[in-house]
Chains A and B, each alone.
Chain A
Amino acid sequence: MFIEVDGVEKVFEVRKKTGFLKRERRQVRAVDSLSFTVARGEMVGYIGPNGAGKSTTIKMLTGILTPSGGRLRVAGIDPSRERMRLAHRIGVVFGQRTTLWWDLPLIDSYRLMHRMYRIPDARYAENLDRLVELLSLESLLDVPVRQLSLGQRMRGDIVAALLHDPDVLYLDEPTIGLDVISKAKVRDFLRELNTERGTTVLLTTHDLQDIEQLCSRVMVIDHGRLMYDGPLAGLHEAGESERTLVVDLERELPPIDAGPAARVVKVEGPRQWLAFPASESAAPLVARIAAEYPLADLSVREPDIEAVIAKMLRSLGDTPKPPPDRATA
């Protein structure tokens, strides 16, 4: 197995001021006996509510944090012990912080990577050409990073993380804040990277579409524990997720009767929200409403990943869950 996580835990000690000089020490279990493996070439979505332990896991896998217990291997390397050796094998993209040099042309950041990772000249040139072409950054190489749009910068960061041909790519919220076109570009690229190069990809995201379009496998973490590990379809099932049709009528009307296919969840003046199963097509529903009601406008909202997870966790509610942290005196 390429990534092996076996009974890994991470306990933080949090000191909280309780009085003028009194401090209470609390142990917070950010990751609790986490076990999973990822095979080479897999593309896995790693999701969970905020504070569930996602980034703590990624930080342990990239060698930033040392686990408090358990065994962890990436490409046969113990990340926390051999941080630098691991660095040559992994690429990391932190969605919300760029590693590019703000005032310098984009190409300068890549030249730094070239030298810092000691990438052989020929391979660097080849990788740069290929990546820049795939992510359509050719015309932007000489533009200072501060002048790039968010989407361009994200693509720029992805190139920087891949110049040294890593075996694993960790992406933390790679599409956050991007417009639809940029999102599509990033996703197309990741799919291609995965199929052509066999790069293992592990991504955390809040965007369910990222997962739907990219990952055959999803891991859901909550309170530091792995709650689900399997295909996305299974997650939908477990969460019985729903999409929402937002309907703007020409005037205020009583709740729409759309039959058993959908139910009205909210009415606000002429606007109504209808929930229908995520697995169903919206077309018959839209056709029916358009035929029977004075329709002004409508839009479909994808299920919110948080909502899907919340539902799933609730449906798993009968499994006993330990408290998120244990107070010690």
Chain B
Amino acid sequence: MGERVRDALRAYLLIAGMWIRSTMIYRTSFAVTMAGNLLVTGLDFATILLMFSRVDSLGGWSLPEVAFLYGLSATSFGVADLVLGSMDVLGTRIRDGSFDTLLVRPASVLAQIGADHFALRRLGRITQGAVVLGWALAFAGIDWTPAKVLLVPLMLAAGAAIFCALFVAGAAFQFLAQDAAEVQNAFTYGGTTLLQYPPTVFGKDFVRGVTFLLPLGFVNWVPAAYVLGRPYPLRLPVWTVWAPPLVAAVCCALAGLAWRAGLRAYRSTGS
């Protein structure tokens, strides 16, 4: 098992390296898209700033508190987007037949498709998220305890893992419907936008749905309320604050199963 993971990681890095080199052939184009990426993701947070220029709080959350939510979500999504963000090419690869060429290589198909079209320009989102997060950590007036110091990186890692699981599950769905890339994007990109706003802005049933149905809420809202010392959403018990790694592990396992099922379906139908 460990060896298989190491082999897959190695294949991933080999292929990602090839994509980086391919990108670097067109340096100017890379610089422009990188700058564009930073600008677009930056505008994302500007929307929130703009709102706060009219109101003092959003659902009872102050600007640094919302920035904390935003920074966490954007950074963990950014990491997942960098690592697996191009998995939606799977549908295209299946349609044009180039997916078959991956199956005759001595490497994990998941690693190969995960590294497909690896794009360094996605560092833009991580950079921007990290800047906002850093600012929020400094100005949100957090009452730091050792538990909270531990929780923040844990939330980032768990969040990234959950988003990765969503990318993989979305890709697995593409084995069944090859034009499903948009459905997947609704969950991943839509999910991250949602998490950048405090839960109290949305209706209660909606929050419940998002927290449990899509485990995305665990990325942010529950532990963030704890770190910021705010009342818990949905009156959940306090221990749920440590749920993110658990939820992340479950999500990854489910995504792995979905991927295997999808690949098996592909190999038995060839379409």
User: Using a CB–CB distance below 8 Å, which chain A residues touch chain B?
Assistant: 12-13, 56, 59, 62-66, 68, 80, 83-85, 87-88, 90, 92, 94, 97, 99, 101-104, 108, 112, 115-117, 144
Contacts and interface: CB of A to CB of B under 8 A. Distances in A.
B101 interface: yes
Contacts of B18: 101, 104, 108, 112
Nearest to B99: A64
A37 B186 CA distance: 50
B53 interface: no
Contact of B267 (A66, A88, A97): A66
Contacts of B106: 84-85, 87-88, 116-117
Contacts of B25: 103-104, 144
Interface in B1-46: 11, 14-15, 18, 21-22, 25-26
Contacts of B14: 112, 115-116
Contacts of B15: 112
A102 B104 contact: no
A101 B15 CA distance: 10
Given A84-B107, A88-B106, A116-B106, 6 more contacts: A63-B104, A64-B270, A65-B267, A97-B97, A112-B14, A115-B14
A97 B101 contact: yes
B145 interface: no
A105 to B, nearest CB: 10
Contacts of A90: 104
12 contacts: A62-B103, A62-B104, A63-B103, A64-B100, A64-B103, A80-B267, A84-B107, A94-B101, A103-B25, A108-B21, A112-B14, A116-B14
Contacts of A83: 103
B134 to A, nearest CB: 36
Contacts of A68: 268
A104 B105 contact: no
Contacts of A115: 14
**What is the interface residue range for chain B against chain A?**
20 to 34
A92 B14 CA distance: 20
Contact of A99 (B21, B22, B101): B101
B193 interface: no
Interface string B236-271: 000000000000000000000000000010011111
B113 to A, nearest CB: 14
Given A94-B101, A97-B101, A59 B269 contact: no
Tell me whether chain B's interface is mostly helix, strand or loop, or mixed.
helix
Contacts of A92: 101, 104
Contacts, number: 66
B144 to A, nearest CB: 45
A201 B121 CA distance: 43
Contact of A94 (B21, B26, B100): B100
Contacts of A108: 18, 21
A88 B107 CA distance: 10
Interface string B100-120: 110111110000000000000
Given A97-B97, A104-B22, A115-B14, A66 B268 contact: yes
Given A84-B106, A116-B106, A13 B269 contact: yes
Nearest to A30: B270
B75 to A, nearest CB: 30
Nearest to A115: B14
Given A94-B100, A103-B22, A104-B21, A12 B269 contact: yes
Given A97-B98, A101-B22, A102-B22, A116 B105 contact: yes
A88 B7 CA distance: 15
A138 B22 CA distance: 22
Contacts of A56: 270
Contacts of B268: 65-66, 68
A65 B104 CA distance: 11
A66 to B, nearest CB: 5
Contacts of A12: 269-271
B143 interface: no
B205 interface: no
B270 A59 contact: yes
Contacts of A65: 267-268, 270
For A64, A80, A97, A99, which residue has the most chain B Cβ atoms within 10 angstroms?
A: A64
A108 B14 CA distance: 11
B54 to A, nearest CB: 47
Contacts of A117: 106
